[in-house]
Amino acid sequence: MEPQALTNMQMRDVETIVHPYTNLHAHRSVGPHVLEKGERIYVHDDQGRRLIEAMSGLWCAGLGYSDKELIDAAVEQLHRLPYYHLFGGKSFEPAIELAEKLKEKFPTPMARVFFASSGSEANDTQVKLAWYFNNAHGRPEKKKIIGRVKGYHGVTIVAASLTGLPNNHRDFDLPVDRIHHTSTPHYWRGAEPGETELEFSARLAQELEDLILHEGPDTVAAFIAEPIMGAGGVIIPPKGYFEAIQPILSKYDIRLIDDEVICGFGRTGAWFGAETFGMAPQSASFAKQLTGAYVPLSAVAVDQSMADALDAESEKIGIFGHGYTYGGHPLGCAVGVKALEIYETRKIPERVARLAPRFAEHLTRLAEHPLVGEGRSSGLVGALELAPDKSGKTMFNPPMKVGPKMQAEMLARGVIVRAIGDVIAFCPPMIIEEDEIDAMFEPVESALDATAHWAKAEGLL
Ligand SMILES: Cc1ncc(COP(=O)(O)O)c(C=O)c1O
């Protein structure tokens, strides 16, 4: 295909913006895809096309793109108190109310909530708190954090280190020390022949215990996990995974940090992924759907033992020396309060649970296609993993070409999906209707056919 000349808007973009998660070299000739507006599950681009946003942006606009109640809550707060902070003991009701609501809704007892602006900041905070906690307890050696290969926890220096994806480390001189990674709980890819899901979970738990023993339990502070790994490729834990992992963490007094940044607020068909997958963490990170993504806000909820340690340590030092100018911004908190009210009154988690079988049916059917290795989902998040066959043991060579081609074929058919390497992710706004789920999946088969045809011509199949 002939490269098309860039529009004026595209030229202005390529001359000005460093785009995250973009091949910056290719971007200069391809140009950006410019979006102008959105409503419900749709966004409109500057070419006048209406597209189904099958990724809720970045797994975050769970209430869609035009929720009047969220907009009104934002405007009202802007009129009342457009900015304040929580430093030095200052406060305001939306922050207090949101923290109360998070404590009420989270399935395990949480004592306090710390606010930040992004998921990365929340997870950076988690690590700092784990270090602070162990200093408060007189255990200065107990500082290592274990994440997982393919886990995603953000991009600030420590959050990127927790992340277990090569492109977040490569040439950034990461990960920093004291961060380790254990295996991905992906049964289809990782199981040995004949191994059941429960056996696979037990093996991964044993591997984690071996790593802890190798490092020395007295040096390991915390284990961080998303209930479902999102950006690593929508990897859903196998049966018994967290049930097998958690006793090991308790045995060695290692805290479990639950990264709910994608799974929180209904995505899996329950309020939190922790409920769906049987996690009982000592702390949790929230962002994205916390405000329906209308305003940046994140939060860290901590249990009583952490709250006590924070009290004690800050009494010793004289101050809890951590906080962000915009952490707990009143606008974010007001919109967060409204979002949580909407999740409750519109019964969004229940709605997701009701729609999940329809969503899963499509993925199961599409997994029959020769270009699909595995289809998987939980609630309203799912994926088609493209692969040369269904064995779980083969990859395209080279990888990361077929997925982007499929993403482009879907866009050409009016649906925005996300290629994570060769995994095609779906995470639509949770307000999607049943017939819209059908419409979202309708073009997938023909896009798969076109991608397979191209892959054969390119010698990738
Ligand atoms: C599970 C998880 N944690 C943390 C983050 C980082 O959030 P942010 O991009 O807001 O820093 C993300 C972002 O996708 C995420 O998916």
- Residue 382 DSSP SS3: strand
225 Cβ below 6 A of ligand 1: no
Which positions ≥6 away from 100 have C-beta within 8 Å? none
154 Cβ below 6 A of ligand 1: yes
Confidence of residue 3 (pLDDT cuts 50, 70, 90): low
Residues 30, 5 contacting (CB under 8 angstroms)? no
Give the other-Cβ count within 10 Å of 304's Cβ: 12
* pLDDT value at residue 4: 75
Give the other-Cβ count within 10 Å of 276's Cβ: 22
Token look-up 């779980």 returns: 392
> What is the average per-residue pLDDT within 4-32?
96
Q: Residue 442 above 70 pLDDT?
A: yes
Expressed in angstroms and rounded, the spacing between residue 107 Cα and the centre of ligand 1 is 21
Ranges of each domain in the chain = 33-66+347-457, 69-345
> What is the average per-residue pLDDT within 209-235?
98
55 Cβ below 6 A of ligand 1: no
Q: Residue 221 above 90 pLDDT?
A: yes
Distance CA 194, CA 244 (A): 19
Q: Which CATH class is domain 33-66+347-457?
A: alpha beta
Which positions ≥6 away from 143 have C-beta within 8 Å? 130, 131, 134, 178, 219, 221
Q: Give tens-digit pLDDT for 79-118.
A: 999 999 999 999 999 999 999 999 999 999 999 999 999 9
- Residue 91 DSSP SS3: coil
The amino acid at residue 358 is: R
Sequence-ordered alpha helix ranges (H) in 81-196: 93-105, 119-136, 157-162, 166-169, 187-190
Expressed in angstroms and rounded, the spacing between residue 302 Cα and the centre of ligand 1 is 18
Q: Residue 331 above 50 pLDDT?
A: yes
Per cent of the chain over pLDDT 70 is 99
Confidence of residue 1 (pLDDT cuts 50, 70, 90): very low
228 Cβ below 6 A of ligand 1: no
The atom number, within ligand 1, closest to the CA of 117 reads: 10
Q: Residue 200 above 60 pLDDT?
A: yes
Per cent of the chain over pLDDT 90 is 99
Q: Give tens-digit pLDDT for 37-59.
A: 999 999 999 999 999 999 999 99
Task: Reduce the secondary structure of 37-83 to three states and give it as a string.
Answer: EEECCEEEECCCCEEEECCHHHHCCCCCCCCHHHHHHHHHHHHHCCC
CATH 3.40.640.10 fits 69-345, yes or no: yes
Residue among 153, 163, 286 to mutate when testing ligand 1 (max atoms within 8 A of CB) = 153
Token look-up 């200065």 returns: 140
Q: Give tens-digit pLDDT for 354-390.
A: 999 999 999 999 999 999 999 999 999 999 999 999 9
* Average predicted confidence (pLDDT) for the chain: 97
Confirm whether pTM is higher than 0.85. yes
The atom number, within ligand 1, closest to the CA of 58 reads: 14
Both tokens assigned to 66: 């035009």
Q: Give tens-digit pLDDT for 237-283.
A: 999 999 999 999 999 999 999 999 999 999 999 999 999 999 999 99
